Structure 1
C-alpha cells in the first residue's frame, strides 16, 4: 500500500561532503564525521539536534555504533540497513516514517570510505567481501566481480537489443562533460568516444572507461519534517516519493539480465509522488558502469526497454541534451568511494536548490534519484521536489 500522506511530509535541509578523491592520512570515520558536521551546519542545526541516524558500511556489520560514538549523539531512531550502494536512498522511507510518527525530529544519513588510500589492498578488500557475502552460484568460479556481472548484463543487452559499444561509450562521455563543469569532480580531462572505445578492455564488452572511479569520499544529508524545514537556513527539498525493491542478490539469479528491480521501485515512487517520467527535470542514477545508466533509464520509464542506447546517443544525456543525467559527473567521472548512493542524493538536492554553477539545470523543480546495490541487486528510487512541486 502506498501512503500518499507521506508525500512532501519531510524535506532535506542540509548536505555535506568531505575527503573527495584522495583523503590521504584520514580514516573513513574521520571523513564521515567531517561530512556529517558540514551537513548539519548547512541545515543551520547543531549535532545535538540530531536524534535519528541512518548509516551503513561495506566492511563493518555494526557500523552505526562507532558512528554514533564519534558523533557524540544519542539517537532515538537508528537504521543501519545495508543494501549496498542504494542504502542511502533506501534509508529515506524508514526515516520519513520515524519523523512522522514523532519518534525523532532530525535524521542524519551519512557514509564515508577511504577505499582508495586505505592500507588494505583492493585484493584484500575483495577477499573480505567474498567472506562476508559469499555468492554460492558464482564465488566458486572466482569472477572479477562486480565487473564481470555488469559486463554480462551489457553483453546481453547488446545481443538482445542491438545496443552498441559506441552507445555505451556515450554514457561515459556524457558523464565526463558534466564533470568538466563540476570543480569537485575527480576526472575532468577531455574524453571522446574513441578514448572510451580504445581504452584497455577489462571485461568484455566494458573497457576501463566504462567503469567507475575508485576513490575516497564521504557524504551526508539531514532530513526533518516539512513544517520545521520551512524555518531553517536552506531552501527545503521535499521527498515526494521513495521505494526500494530487491529481486535477487546474484546476477545469475536474475530472471532477465536486462530488467532490474528499478522497474518496481520506480513505478511505486512515481505513484507516491503523483508525477510521471516526463515531468522530471534532472536525473541522478547510480552509474557504476556505463550499462547501468541505460538499464535504469529504461526501467524507470524514460524510454522503452531496448531503446536506452538510442536515448543516450548524440549527447542526449549530457549538457544541452534532452535529459540531464548525472549532472555532477557521476560515479564514472566525479566520485565513487565504494557506495555512491549518498552522492546522487546530494547532487539532486543541490540541483533543486539551484546552486550548481555552470552545471545547473535551469528551472529544476523535480529530480529523480535511483540507487543501485550489489550486482544489479537492490534498487531504490526517490523523487525530490522544490516547494513548487508540492
Structure 2
C-alpha cells in the first residue's frame, strides 16, 4: 500500500546544516535550534518568512522541552507555521518528521517545512533520569530492577549472539569502521584510529557491550528544509528528492519485544523500498542509526542488506568499510562523530551531504541514492528514508 500512497518524489530537501558544536556548556538548546535553522534556511536561500511548517521533538531533559515543546521552540525561533508536527519516537523522530512533512506538503497544508533538533546531552547541568522509566504498565516489570538504555540493548545483543553466533570481535569491527570515517571528519568528536583490540579492552558497560560499543555523548543540533518539488527548483541549491519513506513501532519496554534478534526496520524498510520502487541492492551507501554496535548489526539484517544470521561475516569481510559493499555512517556516526540524543537528524544531514558531494568525512564517488534508518527507544521504533540526488 505504501507504494500507492506515499507521494514519492513530490518533495525535496533543499537546505541542511549540522552544528559543529560537540561541547556547548552554558548554551541553551533553543539557541542551537535558532542557529541551525538560520543556517539551513541560508543554505536553501530562504528565510523565516518562507516557512509555513515546523517539526521538532524536545521531550528529553537535555532538550529543555516538555509538553507543547513544538510550540515553545517555534515561539523562540519566530516561526508561525500553519502546520506543525511533534511526533516523538525517539531517535527515529526526525525521519518521521520528514515523511510527515512530505505528506502535509502533498496535501496542501503547507509548502516549506523546517525540521530541527538540538540538545546539550553532554553539558546539561541538571540531574536527569534515563528515559522510559515509567513504573506502571510494562515498566513495572523492569524499572524496579534498574534497567537502563545500555542494559536493554545488551539484552538484544546477548540474544542475537547466542542465536546466531555473532562474536564480540565482529561487533567491535563496527566501531572500528566508524572511527575510520570519523578520522577524516574534522568535526568528529573522536578521530583517533582504533582497533578491534582497543574495543575489546575498553571497560565493560553492560555485557556484552563495552565502552567503545556505545555511542558518544555530545551536544549538537541540526536542521533541514523540505519543500515541494516545484518550489525546490527556485531554491539556491535545488533539492534532493525524497523517494521513499516508512515507519514502524513495536514495543515500549524490552519485556514486550517479541523477537530480540530483529527490529521494526523490517517493516519501515519494506515500506520505504516499496514507495521508492527500489530494493536493497540499489543502495550503495546508507546512514544507519548507531546508538550501539548491536543497533547497526540488527538494522543491516532487518533492512534486507544482509541475510538473517550473516551480519557478522558481512562486517568481518569489510562490507561496511570504505570501499565495501555498503559504506555506512560516513561522517563517523554516533559511535565517533556526535550523538546528542536523536541521532536521526544527523544521519539525514550526512545523507544530504553525500548526495551533494560535500561529506566532511569520506566522500563517495557521486552516489545517486542514500538510505537513512533511524531507531528510537529500546529498539522500539524505526523510520526509514530513501533520498535521491536527482529530481
Q: Same fold (TM over 0.5)?
A: yes
Task: Identify the match of residue 153 of structure 2 among 147, 150, 155.
Answer: 150
Cα gap change, 1:267/1:198 in structure 2, threshold over 3 Å: closer, same or farther?
same
Root-mean-square deviation (CA, aligned residues, Å) is 1.5
Cα gap change, 1:128/1:172 in structure 2, threshold over 3 Å: closer, same or farther?
closer
Partner SS for 1:112? strand
| CA distance in structure 1 between the aligned counterparts of 2:185 and 2:360, rounded to whole angstroms | 8
Which residue of the partner structure matches residue 107 of structure 1? 113
Which residue of the partner structure matches residue 122 of structure 2? 116
Q: Tell me the TM-score normalized by structure 2.
A: 0.95
Structure 1 residue 357, shift from structure 2 partner? 5.3
Structure 1 outlier segments of 4+, above 3 Å: 131-134
- Tell me, yes or no, if structure 1 residue 73 matches structure 2 residue 79: yes
Which residue of the partner structure matches residue 196 of structure 1? 199
CA deviation string 1:13-63 (max 9, x = no partner): 001122531012211111111111111111100011111001001231221
Long gaps (5+) in structure 2: none
Structure 1 residue 339, shift from structure 2 partner? 1.3
Cα gap change, 1:303/1:92 in structure 2, threshold over 3 Å: closer, same or farther?
same
Structure 1 residue 239, shift from structure 2 partner? 0.5
Report the count of equivalent residues.
384
| CA distance in structure 2 between the aligned counterparts of 1:383 and 1:253, rounded to whole angstroms | 29
Which residue of the partner structure matches residue 88 of structure 1? 94
Structure 1 residue 137, shift from structure 2 partner? 2.3
Matched-pair contact (CA < 8 Å) for 2:43–2:236: yes
CA deviation string 1:291-339 (max 9, x = no partner): 0111000000001111111111143212222211111111000100011
* 1:224-239 matched pairs, under 5 angstroms: 224-239=227-242
CA deviation string 1:85-130 (max 9, x = no partner): 100001122211111122111001101000111111xxx3116763
Structure 1 residue 279, shift from structure 2 partner? 0.5
Partner SS for 2:128? helix
Partner SS for 1:126? coil
Long gaps (5+) in structure 1: none
Matched-pair contact (CA < 8 Å) for 2:330–2:361: no
Which residue of the partner structure matches residue 292 of structure 1? 295
Matched-pair contact (CA < 8 Å) for 2:289–2:373: yes
Which residue of the partner structure matches residue 214 of structure 1? 217
* 1:1-390 matched pairs, under 5 angstroms: 1-2=1-2, 3-4=4-5, 6-18=7-19, 20-57=21-58, 58-59=60-61, 60-120=66-126, 124-126=127-129, 130=133, 135-143=139-147, 145-356=148-359, 359-387=362-390
Matched-pair contact (CA < 8 Å) for 1:170–1:314: no
Q: Tell me the TM-score normalized by structure 1.
A: 0.95
